[in-house]
Amino acid sequence: MLFNSISFLIFLPIVYGLYWWIQSWENFKHTISVQNILLLIASYFFYAYWNIWFLGLLIFSTSLDYFSGLKIENSATNQHKKIWFWLSISINLGLLGIFKYFNFISINLSELLGNFGWTYQPMLLLIALPIGISFYTFHGLSYVIDIYHDKIKAEKNILNYSLFVCFFPLLVAGPIERAQHLIPQLVQRKVFNRAKTINGLQQMLWGFFKKIVIADNCAVFVNQIFSDYENLNSSSLFIGAIFFSFQIYGDFSGYTDIALGAARLFGIELFNNFSYPYFSKSINEFWKRWHISLTSWFRDYIYIPMGGNRVNPIRKIINTIVVFLVSGFWHGANWTYISWGFLNSIFILPKTLSQKKQSIDSNKMAGKVVGAFQMLLTFLTVSILWVFFRSKTVYDALKYLQNLVYKWDSILPDFNGRKSALVLSIIIFVFMIFEWIGKSYNCPLVFTNSFKNKWLKWGFYYAIIFSILYFYRGNDQFIYFQF
């Protein structure tokens, strides 16, 4: 089920109403359990609405990690503990590898052997990639790893654990939660909080605006420009790269806003996955603000176990590159994602290796100018790197960037719909102003709480709702559903 669909707008109020109606059963001892059963059934329905057959895979993965966690914790010997740990890890990564990477590995193996004169017909699996498999697999992996290293206790209640993995707001595109953060919230008695409900709706509304008004409309021009990049001039390609930066940000952070807001309606707080990343002053800072749950996952379960920063410079370089290569490969079975991950690691290394901490006095005008320049430079760098993420092949990405540099035969763009692109650019500019104003909040719309004039406040909300309805283009998939 898509967040930006009529089905979800019917589904959510029904689940929300039933959830808080159950809460009103004051003399009932099992209110929390019934609420969690409701959320689990709703979550399974939410997932099965897309493809009921892959629901079985989700339940299998959940059951595997639940029972593995219990076996690891109750193992009498270290040997038994390791057996259950590696069994869970192997099956999880094996399933992820089969569904997501089998065809990629098979095709590349065929090409590699062909270079040595050997003929190998690649085996291909004609099967769809289960939505959200990378996300719910990482939920289970972190849970099992933490139990193995005695950081957490295994959850005895299978209902609570299943809901931790399958809670519908985060099920298909994150954020990637940790058991020690989410499970305690699931077992607590909830008290309806009007302020949290309003805040949740505000964040959802801003998420819908990001997705429908910004991302989906940027996608129209991005698709056109990237599919015809060989025939367009540099200014068009520059606009294409910039629009894709806002498309992927509006799409993924918009999804996250809707997810966090929806969870808050049920009294549950999820990890904040984005912290206004396009206001970063370096690539290093960008990765502390973008897809935070994934970045912290790789830091805790790959980078730190490899030695992290507590190693010599050569090892630190290797650790950083490995983490970003894995991050790129996690995003998709294509050399473009691997190249994108590698290039990000190269841009991050100078500051990672440097021991100096740059200090800028933001209260002085010079400091503000330097800070603004750093933000612009970081944004442009990220936008260039996104070209690899968006392109079909590495060759296409390199050719795109080559044309971007050398085809300045005209300053004016030469793609169709330039007037509409100009209107969209103005909307994006206004959007970023609101992001800047509201950057100290979990959602920019929170700043409207200070409006004393209720007509101004509601007029602002209605303007956003009208723009969402006006620019709505249909039930387009979220970009990160493919991961």
pLDDT tens digits for range 113-140: 777 777 777 777 777 778 888 889 999 9
Terminal alpha carbon distance of the chain? 16
**Full residue range of the structural domain in which residue 95 is found:** 6-116+127-192
Cα–Cα distances (Å) from 135 to 130, 131, 165, 269, 292, in that order, read 11, 9, 9, 18, 13
Distance (Å, whole) CA 17 – CA 47: 20
Domain assignment present for 63: yes
Domain assignment present for 122: no
Provide, rounded to the nearest whole percent, the portion of the chain with pLDDT above 70. Answer: 96
Phi (first) and psi of residue 389, to 5 degrees = -65, -40
Domain assignment present for 374: yes
Which of residues 4 and 388 earns the better pLDDT score?
Answer: 388
Q: Please tell me whether residues 131 and 209 are part of one structural domain.
A: no
- Predicted confidence at residue 203, as pLDDT, reads 94
Structure-token pair, residue 471: 């620019």
Q: Please tell me whether residues 188 and 206 are part of one structural domain.
A: no
Peptide bond into 175 cis (omega under 30): yes
As annotated, the active-site residues are 331
Q: Please tell me whether residues 248 and 100 are part of one structural domain.
A: no
- Residue at which a domain ends, from 145, 165, 192: 192
Domain assignment present for 20: yes
State the average pLDDT for the chain.
89
Q: Please tell me whether residues 226 and 175 are part of one structural domain.
A: no
- Predicted confidence at residue 219, as pLDDT, reads 92
Q: What pLDDT digit, counting tens, does each position of 245-300 carry?
A: 999 999 999 999 999 999 999 999 999 999 999 999 999 999 999 999 999 999 99
Q: Please tell me whether residues 202 and 187 are part of one structural domain.
A: no
Q: Please tell me whether residues 169 and 216 are part of one structural domain.
A: no
Q: What pLDDT digit, counting tens, does each position of 143-153 carry?
A: 999 999 999 99
Q: Is the Cβ–Cβ distance between 442 and 272 less than 8 Å?
A: yes
Residue 238: CB partners within 8 Å, gap ≥ 6?
A: 404
pLDDT interval class at 418 (50, 70, 90): confident
Predicted TM-score (pTM) of this structure: 0.91
Q: Please tell me whether residues 308 and 180 are part of one structural domain.
A: no
Domain assignment present for 411: yes
Q: State yes or no: pLDDT of 177 exceeds 70.
A: yes
Tokens 């009498």 sit at which residue?
76
Q: Please tell me whether residues 213 and 188 are part of one structural domain.
A: no
- Predicted confidence at residue 355, as pLDDT, reads 61
Provide, rounded to the nearest whole percent, the portion of the chain with pLDDT above 90. Answer: 63
Please tell me the total count of domains within the chain: 2
Q: Please tell me whether residues 165 and 237 are part of one structural domain.
A: no
Q: State yes or no: pLDDT of 2 exceeds 90.
A: no
Q: Please tell me whether residues 208 and 184 are part of one structural domain.
A: no
Tokens 């329905």 sit at which residue?
45
Q: What pLDDT digit, counting tens, does each position of 433-480 carry?
A: 999 998 888 888 888 888 888 888 888 899 999 999 988 877 567 776
